[in-house]
């Protein structure tokens, strides 16, 4: 077993980044065997799973519908909140049970949970039935580790993140809409957040490689790309090559792929130049996810978010004014250590001001290793739950209100797949990222169609093609 090299402090050091062109030779040594892959967490993990899927398929594995039929199970984990972790360990219980019956089953754990020193120690001590533990920085070593799986636990987790791999191959879930990493890691160190520890230093991919990938996807019929990074507006700063996110966005827009999206934008450093580019190009979608986290300046400061509510409001108003019909969603945490009733009221105030199109809301979850986990917190959980409930009621009220504005309107929708609302229905997204269930046949999948909106709910719209 290799000794895990987990020293999170390293993530804070500035190091020279190596750009490495991958050229893997993977042999189909597991031909006819089956894999089961389960993904937790954010879009980054979803996209990483597309890389994992590529490796598994190159090794000869085919997908299995059921865990019980699998010869290898891969769990791509998330560590953002305690409940994300609980879900993984709950599922591991099922895997452990299966391994008792199926001795040759290979169990592989990857993703952010593996990069948390406290977790990895527990995994090594208590979960010996896991065959492979691989970190977030060296996914490309997975084929080799699977090929060499010997029944003894192997741990290949590194805290260092001084590399950017190019020429990564993916087995993408969709032939219509594709994720593209533009930036890895995060350097913001919001005090509640584990991501800088699990994903390492902020590193941008070189622009020419991203543009090449967009061009390739367009040539292969993709209708939409989503540029991924924890802080896309910091894109390029680490490269010092004279370009930034606005430059990249404009160049991507000029390639002419029908729809371009990006997540996530930090309210800090969201430049006017970015807003102008978003406003100028019709193929950059008028949708921005702009996490606010709290309505209280005191809490924002303790969170190390680097903006005040006044600054957020100013940015919000400018975006609304310059980008026509833009929709804006957000993330909010309630119950940050010692959040007062007054602080919480300020969060409700900012929600009343912004009337967000949607919001992901969370109760603060202490993460071992982060600064906020060490802060004193006298707010009882019952109080936090009550705040979350109140906040959700307000957030849902505004989601419904903003969706109702679509009633009777005709809007372009990119149809992405069948709808789970009925057999003769498909679903897709408006340019403003509203989910629409549409009466129509599967022939519409992959097309942008005009849809008349007939009904509006808090989380979706219903419509017919016209
Ligand atoms: N990079 C993005 C956020 C990625 S994490 C940004 O800065 O906007 C997604 C969301 O999870 C965060 O916006 C935050 O609202 C929430 N989150 C992160 N850590 C959390 C924690 N410890 N407890 C509760 N929610 C958390
Ligand atoms: Fe986490 Fe903050 Fe980085 Fe977002 S910006 S990933 S919330 S540390
Ligand atoms: Fe994403 Fe969870 Fe990691 S939100 S970056 S998979 S901790």
Per-residue pLDDT tens digits for 242-267? 999 999 999 999 999 999 999 999 99
The CA-CA-CA angle for residues 445, 446, 448, to 5°, reads 100
Q: What is the pLDDT of residue 137?
A: 94
Here the tokens at position 258 are 């029908």
Q: Residue 289: is its pLDDT beyond 60?
A: yes
* Beta carbon of 193 within 6 Å of any ligand 1 atom: yes
Nearest to 287 by CA among 433, 429, 83, 71: 433
* Beta carbon of 294 within 6 Å of any ligand 2 atom: no
Q: What is the mean pLDDT of residues 106-128?
A: 91
Helix runs in 59-163, H state only? 82-101, 117-126, 142-147
For residue 300, report the distance from its CA to the centre of ligand 1, in Å.
13
Nearest to 132 by CA among 104, 153, 163, 161: 153
Q: What is the pLDDT of residue 221?
A: 97
For residue 399, report the distance from its CA to the centre of ligand 2, in Å.
24
Sheet containing 177-181: order of strands? 177-181, 224-228, 259-263
Instruction: Give the number of the atom of ligand 2 that is nearest the alpha carbon of residue 187.
Output: 3
Q: Residue 197: is its pLDDT beyond 80?
A: yes
Q: Across the chain, what does the average pLDDT equal?
A: 94
* Beta carbon of 362 within 6 Å of any ligand 1 atom: yes
Q: What is the pLDDT of residue 12?
A: 54
Of the listed ligands, the closest to the CA of 112 is 3
**What is the C-alpha to C-alpha distance for residues 213 and 305, in angstroms, rounded to an integer?**
32
Q: What is the pLDDT of residue 8?
A: 43
Q: What is the pLDDT of residue 120?
A: 85
Per-residue pLDDT tens digits for 343-354: 999 999 999 999
Nearest to 199 by CA among 163, 166, 237, 168: 163
From atom 5 of ligand 3, which residue's Cα is the shortest distance away?
A: 195
Q: Residue 16: is its pLDDT beyond 90?
A: no
Burial class (CB in 10 A: 0-12, 13-18, 19+), 423: exposed
For residue 320, report the distance from its CA to the centre of ligand 1, in Å.
24
pLDDT confidence band for 119 (50 / 70 / 90): confident
Q: What is the mean pLDDT of residues 275-298?
A: 98
Here the tokens at position 187 are 């350097």
For residue 234, report the distance from its CA to the centre of ligand 3, in Å.
18
* Beta carbon of 200 within 6 Å of any ligand 2 atom: no
Here the tokens at position 252 are 């991507």
**What is the C-alpha to C-alpha distance for residues 168 and 260, in angstroms, rounded to an integer?**
21
Beta-bridged to residue 224, according to DSSP, are: 177, 259
Beta-bridged to residue 228, according to DSSP, are: 181, 263
* Beta carbon of 72 within 6 Å of any ligand 3 atom: no
**What is the C-alpha to C-alpha distance for residues 2 and 174, in angstroms, rounded to an integer?**
36
**What is the C-alpha to C-alpha distance for residues 191 and 188, in angstroms, rounded to an integer?**
9
3-state secondary structure of 271: coil
Q: What is the pLDDT of residue 118?
A: 83
Per-residue pLDDT tens digits for 62-112: 999 999 999 999 999 999 999 998 999 999 999 999 999 999 999 999 999
**What is the C-alpha to C-alpha distance for residues 163 and 303, in angstroms, rounded to an integer?**
28
Q: What is the pLDDT of residue 14?
A: 66
Q: What is the mean pLDDT of residues 399-406?
A: 98
The domains located in the chain, with CATH, are 8-163 (3.40.50.12160), 165-404 (3.80.30.20), 410-465 (2.40.50)
* Beta carbon of 112 within 6 Å of any ligand 3 atom: yes
Nearest to 360 by CA among 337, 388, 384: 388
Q: Residue 3: is its pLDDT beyond 60?
A: no
Proportion of the chain above pLDDT 70, given as a percent: 97
Q: What is the pLDDT of residue 252?
A: 98
Nearest to 462 by CA among 431, 416, 418, 426: 426
Nearest to 283 by CA among 260, 262, 263: 260
* Beta carbon of 186 within 6 Å of any ligand 2 atom: yes
Q: What DSSP letter does each residue of 356-408 carry, written as one string?
A: -SEEEEEE----TTSSGGGS-----HHHHHHHHHHHHHHHHHHHHHHHHTTTT
User: Buried b / exposed e across 376-399, counting CB within 10 Å, b at 16+?
Assistant: ebebeeeebeebbeebeebbbebb
Instruction: Give the number of the atom of ligand 1 that is nearest the alpha carbon of residue 193.
Output: 19
The CA-CA-CA angle for residues 160, 166, 171, to 5°, reads 105
Measured CA to CA in angstroms, residue 352 lies from 101, 197, 393 at distances of 55, 34, 12
Proportion of the chain above pLDDT 90, given as a percent: 91
Here the tokens at position 80 are 């953002």
* Beta carbon of 347 within 6 Å of any ligand 1 atom: no
Q: Give the residue, out of 11, 40, 43, 44, with the most ligand 3 atoms within 8 A of its beta carbon, to mutate for a pocket test.
A: 44
Alpha carbon distance, N-terminus to C-terminus of the chain: 61
Q: What is the mean pLDDT of residues 39-58?
A: 98
From atom 2 of ligand 3, which residue's Cα is the shortest distance away?
A: 78
From atom 4 of ligand 2, which residue's Cα is the shortest distance away?
A: 230
Omega before residue 264 within 30° of 0, cis:
yes
Q: Residue 203: is its pLDDT beyond 50?
A: yes
For residue 232, report the distance from its CA to the centre of ligand 1, in Å.
15
Q: Residue 1: is its pLDDT beyond 70?
A: no
Here the tokens at position 274 are 């970015």
Instruction: Give the number of the atom of ligand 3 that is nearest the alpha carbon of residue 113.
Output: 7
* Beta carbon of 365 within 6 Å of any ligand 3 atom: no
Q: What is the pLDDT of residue 4?
A: 45
Q: What is the mean pLDDT of residues 188-199?
A: 95
Measured CA to CA in angstroms, residue 422 lies from 411, 441, 460 at distances of 21, 11, 15
Q: Could you tell me which residues come within 8 angstroms of residue 456 by beta carbon, excluding any fewer than 6 positions away?
A: 400, 403, 404, 406, 407, 462
Beta-bridged to residue 107, according to DSSP, are: 73
pLDDT confidence band for 13 (50 / 70 / 90): low
3-state secondary structure of 189: coil
Region at 231 (left for phi over 0; alpha for psi -120 to 50; beta for the rest):
beta
Q: What is the pLDDT of residue 129?
A: 95
Q: Residue 159: is its pLDDT beyond 60?
A: yes
């Amino acid at each position: 077993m290799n000794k895990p090299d987990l020293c999170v402090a390293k993530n804070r050091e500035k190091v020279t980044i190596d750009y490495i062109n991958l050229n893997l030779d993977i042999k189909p040594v597991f031909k006819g065997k089956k894999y089961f892959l389960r993904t937790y967490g954010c879009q980054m993990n979803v996209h990483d799973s597309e890389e994992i899927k590529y490796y598994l398929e190159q090794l000869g594995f085919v997908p299995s519908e059921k865990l019980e039929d699998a010869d290898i199970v891969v769990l791509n984990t998330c560590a953002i909140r305690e409940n994300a972790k609980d879900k993984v360990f709950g599922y591991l219980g099922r895997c452990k049970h299966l391994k008792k019956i199926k001795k040759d089953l290979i169990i592989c754990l990857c993703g952010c949970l593996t990069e948390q020193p406290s977790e990895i120690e527990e995994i090594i001590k208590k979960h010996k039935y896991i065959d492979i533990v691989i970190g977030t920085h060296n996914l490309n070593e997975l084929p080799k580790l699977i090929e060499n799986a010997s029944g003894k636990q192997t741990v290949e987790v590194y805290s260092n993140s001084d590399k950017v791999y190019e020429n990564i191959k993916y087995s993408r879930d969709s032939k219509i809409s594709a994720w593209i990493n533009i930036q890895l890691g995060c350097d913001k160190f919001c005090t509640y957040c584990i991501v800088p520890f699990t994903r390492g230093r902020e590193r941008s991919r070189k622009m020419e490689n991203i543009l090449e990938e967009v061009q390739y996807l367009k040539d292969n019929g993709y209708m939409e790309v989503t540029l991924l990074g924890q802080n896309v507006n910091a894109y390029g700063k680490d490269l010092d090559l004279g370009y930034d996110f606005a430059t990249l966005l404009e160049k991507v827009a000029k390639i002419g792929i029908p729809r371009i999206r990006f997540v996530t934008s930090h309210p800090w450093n969201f430049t006017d130049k970015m807003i102008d580019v978003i406003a100028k190009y019709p193929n950059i979608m008028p949708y921005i996810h702009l996490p606010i986290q709290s309505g209280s300046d005191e809490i924002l400061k303790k969170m190390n978010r680097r903006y005040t509510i006044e600054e957020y409001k100013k940015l919000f108003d400018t975006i609304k004014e310059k980008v026509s019909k833009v929709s804006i969603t957000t993330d909010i945490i309630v119950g940050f250590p010692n959040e007062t009733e007054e602080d919480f009221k300020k969060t409700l105030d900012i929600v009343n001001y912004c009337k967000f199109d949607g919001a992901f809301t969370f109760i603060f979850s202490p993460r071992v290793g982060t600064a906020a986990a060490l802060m004193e917190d006298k707010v009882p959980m019952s109080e936090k739950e009550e705040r979350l409930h109140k906040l959700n009621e307000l957030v849902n009220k505004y989601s419904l209100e903003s969706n109702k504005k679509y009633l009777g309107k005709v809007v372009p929708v990119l149809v992405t797949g069948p709808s789970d609302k009925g057999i003769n229905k498909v679903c897709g997204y408006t340019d403003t990222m509203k989910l629409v269930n549409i009466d129509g046949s599967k022939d519409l999948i992959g097309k942008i169609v005009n849809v008349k909106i007939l009904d509006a709910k808090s989380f979706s719209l219903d419509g017919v093609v016209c």
